[in-house]
């Protein structure tokens, strides 16, 4: 497809808090507005009001928008490709909310509100799980009774697929190596790691829901299930309370009181032992997955660091790659301290494996997939 221009880019942050903020960038100019936005519906309406302002010159009428694309976290086994949303599709997305309770309800709300505001637009859902449809059976199956897995679709689905797909394709083009062995490390408030062979996901850290694997901002990642049973049976926790704790009160937040790595890095430098331990736990977990995925891939051409932490926290990248020389992984400190909006190589010159920092662009990937879908109609 021809290269398209990004007219406007932005987000609404801290929905449900008093200090909600609408941020928008138009041709290099940044606009910010503080407001109170209690729901995702209020947030999308605030964005629409901003887009319609005469001085922004983005759109003059909502009828100008012909397609609205939505990132939907969980597509279950039902959705493996971008899908035009109708009432049946929307209901299925809502029914899948039990698998992604932090995300799918908000995704469904976004679709409903966008349908009301942009009445002439086709609504398209692009699913985070879709990229991982290539996971082999030995990766996505759980070792529990087969009657349960088949009847209730209990399997690993995988997430952050839009991001992993985008950065891995960028890496393959950069390396000029379609036949490649890549590990993509997506580190944001949510974290995941994927082994990608020849452009296809073959192993992934998240599973049935987006909660296991790596240590995240508020999610625990991998945990011995015996701990959960102990909390319920012996400590009086309800299943709902345990779920809330593991999803919203654990991870870096549970370890330190902070969910933002920037705060944790700062506190660690100031002698906070809890923050130092949390950083070591987080990066140690990533390191273990990298070792496992090198075995699964039977080699390694490149590691990709992406998303907010992966792209910006040089300290985290350095800790992950420390003492990995046996795999041909060594960070060059000077290169690691460099900033770039493009692909950045940060390995030492003699290393067999590339270490790449690649800014993710899920919005662009969603737009490209939606464009391709509309072209097929």
Strand partners, 153: none
Alpha-carbon distance 75 to 292, whole Å?
27
Alpha-carbon distance 130 to 265, whole Å?
34
| Cβ(286)–Cβ(319) below 8 Å | no
| Cβ(17)–Cβ(27) below 8 Å | no
Strand partners, 20: 35
The side-by-side arrangement of strands in the sheet containing 344-345 is: 200-204, 191-197, 181-187, 302-306, 354-357, 344-345
Strands 29-35 and 20-26: antiparallel
Alpha-carbon distance 255 to 13, whole Å?
24
Active site residue 301: no
Alpha-carbon distance 11 to 340, whole Å?
22
Alpha-carbon distance 171 to 167, whole Å?
6
- 292, with CB counted inside 10 A (0-12, 13-18, 19+), is middle
Alpha-carbon distance 35 to 103, whole Å?
23
Token reading at 191: 């974290």
User: Of 128, 260, 332, 349, which one is the catalytic site residue?
Assistant: 128
The dihedral region occupied by 265, where left means phi > 0, alpha psi between -120 and 50, and beta the remainder, is alpha
Residue 33's Cβ-side half-sphere holds a number of Cα atoms within 13 Å equal to: 15
What are the start-end ranges of the H helices in 22-136? Answer: 40-51, 87-95, 104-117
| Cβ(41)–Cβ(105) below 8 Å | no
Buried b (16+ CB within 10 A) or exposed e, 177-209: eeebbbbbbbbbbbbbbbbbbebebbbbbbbbb
Q: Which of the residues are catalytic? A: 128
């Amino acid at each position: 497809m021809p290269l398209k221009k990004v007219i406007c880019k932005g987000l609404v942050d801290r929905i449900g808090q008093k200090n909600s903020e609408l941020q928008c960038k138009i041709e290099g100019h940044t606009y910010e507005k503080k407001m109170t936005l209690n729901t995702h519906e209020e947030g999308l309406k605030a964005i629409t009001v901003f887009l319609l302002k005469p001085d922004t010159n983005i759109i003059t009428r909502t009828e100008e928008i012909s397609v609205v694309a939505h990132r939907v976290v969980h597509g279950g086994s039902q959705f493996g490709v971008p899908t035009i949303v109708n009432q049946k599709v929307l209901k299925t997305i809502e029914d899948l909310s039990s698998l992604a309770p932090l995300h799918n309800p908000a995704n469904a709300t976004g679709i409903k509100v966008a349908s009301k505001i942009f009445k002439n637009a086709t609504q398209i859902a692009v699913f985070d799980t879709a990229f991982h449809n290539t996971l082999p059976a030995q990766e996505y199956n759980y070792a529990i009774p087969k009657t349960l897995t088949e009847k209730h679709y209990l399997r690993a689905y995988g997430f952050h697929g839009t991001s992993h797909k985008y950065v891995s394709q960028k890496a393959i083009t950069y390396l000029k190596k379609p036949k490649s062995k890549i590990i993509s490390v997506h580190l944001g408030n949510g974290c995941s790691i994927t082994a990608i062979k020849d452009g296809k996901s073959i192993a992934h850290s998240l599973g049935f829901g987006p909660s296991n694997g790596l240590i995240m901002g508020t999610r625990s990642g991998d945990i011995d299930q015996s701990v959960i049973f102990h909390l319920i049976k012996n400590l009086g926790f309800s299943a709902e309370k345990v779920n809330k704790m593991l999803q919203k009160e654990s991870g870096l937040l549970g370890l330190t009181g902070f969910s933002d790595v920037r705060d944790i890095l700062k506190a660690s430098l100031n002698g906070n032992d809890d923050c130092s331990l949390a950083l070591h736990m987080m990066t140690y977990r990533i390191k273990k997955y990298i070792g496992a995925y090198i075995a699964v891939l039977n080699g390694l051409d490149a590691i990709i660091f992406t998303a907010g932490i992966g792209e910006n926290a040089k300290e985290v990248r350095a800790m992950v790659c420390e003492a990995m020389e046996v795999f041909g992984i060594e960070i060059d400190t000077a290169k690691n301290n460099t900033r770039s909006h493009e692909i950045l190589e940060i390995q030492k010159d003699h290393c067999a494996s590339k270490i790449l920092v690649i800014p993710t662009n899920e919005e662009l990937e969603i737009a490209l997939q939606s464009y391709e879908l509309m072209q097929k109609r």
